[in-house]
Amino acid sequence: MIAPKIPSNESARLAAVYEYKLIDTLPESDFDNITSIIAAIFNIPISLITLLDVDRNFLKSHYGFPFNEAPRDLSFCGHAIMCEDDIFIIEDSRKDERFHDNPIVKEHNAIFYAGVSLINPDGLPLGTLCVFDTKPRKLTALQKQVLIAMAKQVVNLFELRKRNIQLRETKEELHIQNENLKNFAGHVSHDMKMPLANMIVTTDILRKKYNTVLDAKGIEYLDYLKQSSFTLSDYISGLLNHYESDKLDNVRESFDLHLLLEEIVDLLNINIDCEINFPEINEELYCNRAALEQIFLNLIGNSLKYNDKEKVIIDIACKKRKSQLEFKISDNGIGIPKDKQKEIFNLFSTVGNLDRNGNKGHGIGLSTVQKLINNLGGKIKLESELGKGTTFYFTIAI
């Protein structure tokens, strides 16, 4: 018996084998299907998919063979990966000095062998797709073509597996980074709330105490400082709502839609001429009340802020389907330009319009709304025409 030689690029070859994370894994139907098909087509008792480790031949799929590994020194596959031909064939191992006294030949009657190297995209041999028979035989040209083609398909499966592993690892890494970012944003936002509140209170104290000393310009500066503090406070509150929206437990409860909307209108403390029309049918809903409240607060709040009409009109509709709730919120506001409608739900994306009080939006509210709706198994879209108003359509699963 002659043991197989070790390739000159063995370190790189082994590194390539380990990239696929297949060594010592359990059988998988994708690979077992290939070996069983090969065995049937060739009418042969043994078909294997192998990977050559440091000192063993690991059998990822072993049709007709009771073991999942064998010593590399005894392996036919160790010789096959050194072969420069497309296919390595031993028609009768008993007549070949490399194998005639090999225990695999003597104990398992491995007389015939044909193997095709599994070559990765970098040209490194990982193992083989091979067949054994207990008697001498020859392969037809068609059988050789089939074995070579199926070996390429095995490598394609290896590559697909590797890409899936990389995607899972990337997804997990992004998840960790996103959690770290959310925690950072949460801590920073919370830490900034108190100093901002102090700034707002301090400007009121300064104005009251030094009102007779400050000239008109000084009073204007204090007003500007206070307004800027409020703007930054709203921005931070929006960030907190966005990053904490995932923490809203998906606890479902029964509640009255009209009552929810009435509570939201009270919370908004509307001080302009406004008509809000509730759905004609007062539905009894069963869903995540806290999340739906947050959605309505943002959408109705936007309809109030981004409106240049003397009288604001907001129409709300709701339809209960078998598996979802469908909502519609329309207003007669300033509208959203066509070229901004696709990106309006992106975090920090703004239309550029000033609100009713001359302030610019932060691009956080609608991103939070979409996030909440997606978490509730729904979708949101909009229709808008400049100068005439905007309609949001969204669904949530029930």
Identify the CA nearest to 161 among candidates 87, 69, 51.
51
**CATH 3.30.450.40 applies to domain 10-168:** yes
Question: What pLDDT score does 235 carry?
Answer: 61
List the chain domain ranges: 10-168, 249-397
List, for residues 99-142, the tens digit of each pLDDT value.
999 999 988 899 999 999 999 999 999 999 999 999 999 999 99
- Residue 333: pLDDT band (50, 70, 90) is very high
pLDDT bracket for residue 91 (50, 70, 90): very high
91 neighbors 113 (Cβ within 8 angstroms): no
Q: Which long-range contacts (CB under 8 A, 24 or more apart) does 52-56 make?
A: 52/13, 52/17, 52/77, 52/78, 52/81, 52/125, 52/126, 52/127, 53/14, 53/17, 53/23, 54/14
Residue 312 or 290, more confident? 312
pLDDT score of 220: 86
Among candidate residues 38, 238, 66, the one with its CA nearest the CA of residue 151: 38
CATH of 249-397, one of 3.30.565.10, 1.10.1510.10, 3.40.50.300, 3.30.210.10: 3.30.565.10
Give the predicted TM-score (pTM) of the model. 0.54
Residues 44-50, mean pLDDT to the nearest whole number: 96
Higher confidence at residue 285 or residue 351? 285
Which contiguous run of DSSP H or E holds residue 329?
A: strand 324-331
- Report how far apart, in Å, the C-alpha atoms of 216 and of each of 34, 213, 221, 222, 236 are: 86, 10, 9, 10, 30
Give residues with Cβ within 8 angstroms of 285, minimum separation 6: 254, 255, 256, 257, 260, 292, 320, 325, 398
Q: Which amino acid is at 187?
A: H
* Tokens representing residue 172 in the block: 């997990």
| CATH topology identical between 10-168 and 249-397 | no
